[in-house]
Structure formats: C-alpha cells, structure tokens
Amino acid sequence: MALADAGALLRNENGIATVVSILKKRFGDNAQSGKSIREQHAHTTSYVPNQAPDLVVFVESAEDVQEIVRLCSEWGVPVIAFGTGTSLEGHVNAPAGGISIDLSRMNRILKVYSEDLNVVIEPGVTRKQLNEYLRDTGLFFPIDPGANASLGGMAATRASGTNAVRYGTMRENVLALKAVMPDGRLITTSKRVKKTSAGYDLTRLLVGSEGTLGIITELTLKLYGIPQAISGGICAFPDLESACNAVIETIQMGIPVARIELVNQLEMQAIIAYSKLDYEPAPYLFLEFHGSETSVAEQAELFGEIAAANGGGEFKWTANAEEREKLWSARHNSYFACMTLAPGKQSLSTDVCVPISRLAECIVETEKDIEESGLIAPIVGHAGDGNFHVLVLFDEKDPAEIQKVEAFVERLNLRAIAMDGTCTGEHGIGQGKIKFLRAELGGAVDVMEAIKRAIDPGNIMNPGKILRL
C-alpha cells in the first residue's frame, strides 16, 4: 500500500445494491452513479489512491440526510459526507463502498447575529462565500486554510490555516452544531452562547471527528470585527534556523501577529517564479498585523527589530491592500507553484506540529533529512503555532521512490511526536495518518475506539478513517 492506509474494507454487496436502488427511486436525478461523478467524490488533493462510492446523493436539507442515514443504518451500508473535496488525507474515500452525501447544495447562510458576533449557516457554505456575504456588516470569519473549503468540512477536520496564531482553529470558533447521528437522529450540541458548562462537550467531540461519528448539518460560528488597519510584509533570512528563531521571539514577546508564515528557500524559489515576484530565493517570513493604524505600525517596527537581531534582511511592509493581496495570493498559490518544480510528478502534502520551542530544531532536521534522501520537498509553515507542511514530489510509477517517500514521511511524523508534537496540526488523520495515531496518543486510542463503537456500533459513518475497526 503506497503512502496511505487506504486498503479496501469488506463490502456489503447486498446492502449496497438495495440502498442504491431505493435512493435512486427516492432522489431521482439527485442520486447519481456515473463513473466520473463517483470518482470526483473520492478525489483528494494530495496523493491517496481513490476509492469511489457506489452512489452520490445531492442533499438539500437535514431531513434528506436523516433519511439516507436511517436507510444506510438499517442495511449496514457506509455513508461518507462530502463538502468540496479539498481534504488531504483521504477523508472522502469509500474503502468499503457506500453512499456519498454531497452537502454542497446545503449552502444557506441562515442568520447573522451582528450584536452577538456569530452566524448560523448550513455546512455547504464556503469560507469565501461567507466572508463575501458579511462584507457590508463589518464582520468576518477568519479561519483560512487556503483552499475555499466548505465550513462543514473545515469543522469536521478541525481545520485551521494562516491566521490560527491570532484567531485559533475551527475548534475555538465553532459555538454549536446540528448533526445527524448514525441512527438518523438529529441532535443540537449547544445553544448559541460563547460558553456553557452543560454536560459533555459534544460540539468539540464532533469538531475534528472527520464524519466518523455524525454528519454536520448546521453550524454556529464566531465572527470578528474587520480590523481598522491591516499591514503585511515579507522578510528574508540567511537560513531556516534564523527565521524560526525570529518567529519564536516574536511570539514570546507577545506581538499579536495575525499571520506569520515560513517558507524555505526551495518553496520561495517556486513562489517567485510562479507569481513573478521581485525577490531573491532565500528562507522568508510572510507576516500580517491587525489593529489600529498606530498599533500595526508599532507591531511591524518591533518585528523589524527582531528580524534584524536574527540576521534578517530589510523587513518590507505595507498597508496598501493591493500590495498585500498580491503577497498573500502568492503564498496561497504556493501549492501550484511547487508543482512546477517537478512537472508531471505526483504530490503528497503532509503536516506536523510541534511546540514552538522545538520548531527550529524540527524544521532544520527535516530539511536535512530531505536533502540526504534526495527528495524534492519544499517546506511551508504556519510558524506562529509550530505547524509546518512538506510537499513531497515523486514519481508514482517508481516503486523505489515511493518507498523512499514513505520512509521520509514516517521519520517526519515520528520526529514530531518525539518532540512532544503531533502527527497532524490541521490536515487530520483520515487514512494517511492512522498508523501514527497510537504512537502519539497510546492508550487514548482505545478510548476513541470505545466512543466510536458506542455511537456508531455498525461502523457505517466514514469507515476506515481515524481508527482501524
């Protein structure tokens, strides 16, 4: 098995055939079984072999989801939730076949509570859609994983992104959920309040559960006021260690950066060529500051002093929106930029996260490992919270190269875990990281398995993800 724990599970052929027949009659054209549509719903951005579902149903309401889940529960048929398909660890694959529930048509913004700084939405609403809707209210939703993912999918994978250092992850920004459970019940996990001590925290249980415990049908999210002023900038460093040390000092000094992104020299080389930037290849930090005009200027000046003390070049920052947009567009397009480093090759994106005090050590060791392995693998990091990504480019038809990539990925994950870190800061476990979960959490995985068996005894909810059952 190459690069992921994506082995096929046992199929319930009779149950699948029965459920597919019933759903086709019930949902008509909204239930599709053509090869191309099924393969699209097993597509994953990174390299994990596709395992297509048997049927894709485009739902329009929580009641639709309940009906499908009840039927699948009755017949023991797997059900996999699908948002936009931007996940990276095989989350939408169907290793035992089954039904893919496409939530993209559940895309209504139900209510904005401006005074309370929250919003109620359906799971198919995307990040960009929500912020475009909010633009005239003076509010925004900050979590930005780069891709225009569905917010239901972002909650299911506990996503974060470039500004997690300031605004946190989906875990901190989901106030309440509605979800369809494995028996078809619709539950509400909390009221629309910022805090509660009422019972078990089912919101946090479902956020990050990757569709293995229930399917999210409604979310209540925190909102934030659009900052009065925003400035952004970029700074080169002589080496990765110096850049990481600048990040650590910035965080330890309490400078409230909104984003602080690290790219190594190879990644920056690709970004410069792809986005036509006028910079020299080197390790760089991309930064953004939010606040008043005075405070963002002070933050930028303070960071400039830290950068200089760590051997950094001139810190070039601007409050001009167009210039900032060009800079962050280049950063967000870095995946496509890096693909040009090895045209025609496959890519595997993997992430780890370590305590900020171990970031420099972990990244420097990882870059050395890449060089010694002879791999093409640029590095980018949400450095402010110790999270970084490696995009490994390889020939999927070369068994020796695949073996080399697998060995590197294993060393990277175990390195992070040994440094008191995690095998995934934001991608999730999916299929690709299952084998590292017990190395990280030990006996806690047994408790996770007990929770899964109690809530989903038939193992119909996205089987083969997070846990081996």
* Per-residue model confidence as pLDDT tens digits over 36-61: 999 999 976 677 788 999 999 999 99
The region, left, alpha or beta by phi > 0 then psi within -120 to 50, assigned to residue 420 is: left
Tell me the pLDDT band of 1, cut-offs 50, 70 and 90: very low
* Per-residue model confidence as pLDDT tens digits over 291-329: 999 999 999 999 999 999 999 999 988 889 999 999 999
Q: Please tell me the predicted confidence (pLDDT) of residue 9.
A: 87
* Per-residue model confidence as pLDDT tens digits over 394-436: 999 999 999 999 999 999 999 999 999 999 999 999 998 999 9
User: What percent of the chain has pLDDT above 90?
Assistant: 92
Q: How is residue 60 written in tokens? A: 């329009």
Question: Where are the CATH 3.30.43.10 domain residues in the chain?
Answer: 13-104+450-455
CB proximity list for 320: less than 8 A, separation 6 or greater: none
CATH node for 13-104+450-455: 3.30.43.10
* Mean pLDDT for all residues in the chain: 95
Question: Where are the CATH 3.30.70.2740 domain residues in the chain?
Answer: 343-442
Averaged pLDDT for residues 457-465: 98
Q: Which residue has the higher pLDDT, 67 or 325?
A: 67
Whether CATH 3.30.70.2190 fits 229-336? yes
Q: Please tell me the predicted confidence (pLDDT) of residue 2.
A: 42
CB proximity list for 209: less than 8 A, separation 6 or greater: 156, 466
Averaged pLDDT for residues 282-295: 96
What does the alpha-carbon distance between residue 123 and residue 72 come to, in Å, rounded to a whole number? 21
Q: Please tell me the predicted confidence (pLDDT) of residue 147.
A: 82
Lowest-pLDDT choice from 5-14, 140-149, 377-386, 387-396: 5-14
* Per-residue model confidence as pLDDT tens digits over 142-158: 999 878 899 999 999 99
Nearest partner of 424 among 126, 208, 172, judged by Cα: 208
Question: Where are the CATH 3.30.465.10 domain residues in the chain?
Answer: 109-225
Q: Where are the beta strands (DSSP E) in 276-367?
A: 284-291, 316-318, 346-353
**Class in CATH terms, 109-225:** alpha beta
Taking CA atoms, 146 is separated from 136, 159, 175, 207, 274, in Å, by 23, 10, 22, 19, 17
Highest mean pLDDT among 5-19, 94-108, 154-168: 94-108
Q: Please tell me the predicted confidence (pLDDT) of residue 3.
A: 52
Q: How is residue 283 written in tokens? A: 């390790």
Q: How is residue 3 written in tokens? A: 């690069």
CATH T-level topology, domain 343-442? Alpha-Beta Plaits (3.30.70)
Judging by beta carbons within 10 Å of its beta carbon (0-12, 13-18, 19+), is residue 428 exposed, middle or buried? buried
* Per-residue model confidence as pLDDT tens digits over 191-246: 999 999 999 999 999 999 999 999 999 999 999 999 999 999 999 999 999 999 99
Residue 465 pLDDT more than 70? yes
Q: Please tell me the predicted confidence (pLDDT) of residue 88.
A: 86
Q: How is residue 72 written in tokens? A: 């699948």
User: What percent of the chain has pLDDT above 70?
Assistant: 98
Question: Where are the CATH 3.30.70.2190 domain residues in the chain?
Answer: 229-336
